[in-house]
Amino acid sequence: MEIEKYQIDAHNEKLTAAHQQRFSFAASENAKVEEVITKLIKFQIAIPSWALGTGGTRFGRFSGGGEPRSLEEKIEDVGLLHKLNQSSGAISLHIPWDIPTDYDAIKSLATHHGLRFDAMNSNTFQDQADQKLSYKFGSLQHVDKGVRQQAIDHNIEVIRQGVALGSDALTVWLADGSCFPGQLNFRKAFQNTLESLEEIYAALPDAWKVFVEYKAFEPNFYSTTVGDWGQSLLYASKLGPKAYTLVDLGHHLPNANIEQIVSLLLMEGKLGGFHFNDSKYGDDDLTAGSMKPYQLFLIFNELVEGMDAKGIDHATGLGWMIDASHNVKDPLEDLLQSVEAIMISYTQALLVDREALNIAQQENDVVRCQEILQDAFRTDVRAIVQEARLRTGGAAQPVQLYRGLKVRENLISNRGLKTVATGL
Ligand code: AOS
Ligand code: ZN
Ligand code: ZN
């Protein structure tokens, strides 16, 4: 199914008067509003192919229905999101779940929907049916060079596929680690992983980047070989200038100060990209901004401050992506909510009075510092985000229109009720 322009126009028309009122108030309150809107229009957040279907837990999975059954249908789904919000102009593929059969056809389908291919994701955390050696005890860290080589070759193959699609980055997330004390020699595991990553790094085309994603725990419960930003930064530094750390918001131990991590990685020129999501306990992969919106704002505050200090373009300087899983929500509605939450936090961060904050910091005026940050955080910027969306042809209220057009019902009647999309 496709959403037509006239449907968006009809929806927007009904909401124009109310929006105009809210937007003119927001504009009168914020001198920077036009500058902010220009930045919002450029800012695009990639959608991961594996977040388009209903996920599950080890206890079960409840199909939502109408889920994409092929790469083509995944691209169509992201196309629907982008039509509605004009901020989801990229898709991130996962190999081998999304291997294209016809590269040109896939590329032109993506172009038709206004999408580009974001970072490619390799998979050495599962055994595939036709696979010779098992990843049960790790992949790039494995004690057996044969297993390591198989995982290296897979990553190089993923780069090759990414090149064919016009992507320019590889994200490596490893499940490697150990479940029990004594199982692993930490130093050997690190060195094996580094050597394996070096071989993958050597296969990167010139303009490519590799993102090393870290995660505190799960599926290994005692140690993870890329367990935190320190370890990721160590790999990225040893590998060279094309290697960066990727921050997934759900991959920290409870209460970690993620905004400080982000600030320092940016300072070192080693922050590569993001996986946005939210969590209460661990790697919950919940809707961005659904649990800790203030944290999301504080992260964007550091991003804006750090990127501006270094003259890095907000839209293109880092890889922006969602990484989520949906057990109870309609995945497309959830992704619309995530993108909205990200855009809101970004807008609020753009509104922070930087000059005043600098002065307050210099004067150790702690109270004033907090006032300045919270003044931006407590500003209702929804009309500003909506204005940016309207100016690019998006829907005033994406979730409302999605429901009004009965998109899910349509997808179910086309694809069926009992569907399974490959993913987490
Ligand atoms: C796993 O926990 C990581 O967040 C990965 O980034 C991601 O979910 C996975 O690579 C998807 O296959
Ligand atoms: Zn992730
Ligand atoms: Zn994760």
% of the chain residues with pLDDT over 70: 99
DSSP-assigned letter for residue 287: P
Digit-coded pLDDT (tens) for 59-82: 888 888 999 999 999 999 999 999
Establish whether residue 387 lines the binding site of ligand 1, counting it when its CB lies within 6 angstroms of any ligand atom. no
Q: All domains of the chain, ordered by start, with CATH?
A: 44-352 (3.20.20.150)
- Give the atom of ligand 1 at the shortest distance from the alpha carbon of 246: 6
- Please tell me the predicted confidence (pLDDT) of residue 422: 64
| Residues measured by CB to lie within 5 Å of ligand 2, the ion | 248, 275, 323
Establish whether residue 333 lines the binding site of ligand 1, counting it when its CB lies within 6 angstroms of any ligand atom. no
Ligand 1 pocket test, pick from 118, 124, 213 with the greatest ligand atom count within 8 Å of Cβ, gives 213
Predicted TM-score (pTM) of the model is 0.97
Q: Which ligand has the nearest atom to the CA of 275?
A: 2
Largest Cα–Cα distance in the chain?
66
Q: What is the ipTM of this complex?
A: 0.95
The pair of structure tokens assigned to 14 is 């009904």
Q: Give, to the nearest 10 degrees, the angle between helix 293-310 and helix 366-377.
A: 100
**The CA-based dihedral angle spanning residues 146, 148, 150, 153, taken in that order and rounded to the nearest 10 degrees:** -130
- For residues 366-393, give the mean pLDDT: 98
User: d(Cα 24, Cα 34) in Å, to the nearest integer?
Assistant: 12
Identify whether the C-beta of residue 52 lies closer than 8 Å to the C-beta of residue 92: no
Q: Which ligand has the nearest atom to the CA of 48?
A: 1
The closest residue, in CA terms, to atom 10 on ligand 1 is 173
Alpha helices in 218-292 (DSSP H): 229-239, 258-267
The closest residue, in CA terms, to atom 1 on ligand 1 is 173
- Please tell me the predicted confidence (pLDDT) of residue 132: 98
Digit-coded pLDDT (tens) for 279-328: 999 999 999 999 999 999 999 999 999 999 999 999 999 999 999 998 89
The closest residue, in CA terms, to atom 8 on ligand 1 is 323
User: b/e string for 47-71 if b means 16 or more Cβ within 10 A?
Assistant: bbbbbbbbbbeeeeeeebbbbbbeb
For residue 420, pLDDT beyond 80: no
- Give the atom of ligand 1 at the shortest distance from the alpha carbon of 94: 12
Q: For residue 68, say if its preceding peptide bond is cis, omega within 30 degrees of 0.
A: no
The closest residue, in CA terms, to atom 9 on ligand 1 is 173
Q: Which ligand has the nearest atom to the CA of 50?
A: 1
Strands 319-322 and 271-276: parallel
User: d(Cα 306, Cα 318) in Å, to the nearest integer?
Assistant: 12
- For residues 18-29, give the mean pLDDT: 97
- Please name every residue paired with 234 in a beta bridge, in sequence order, or none if there are none: none
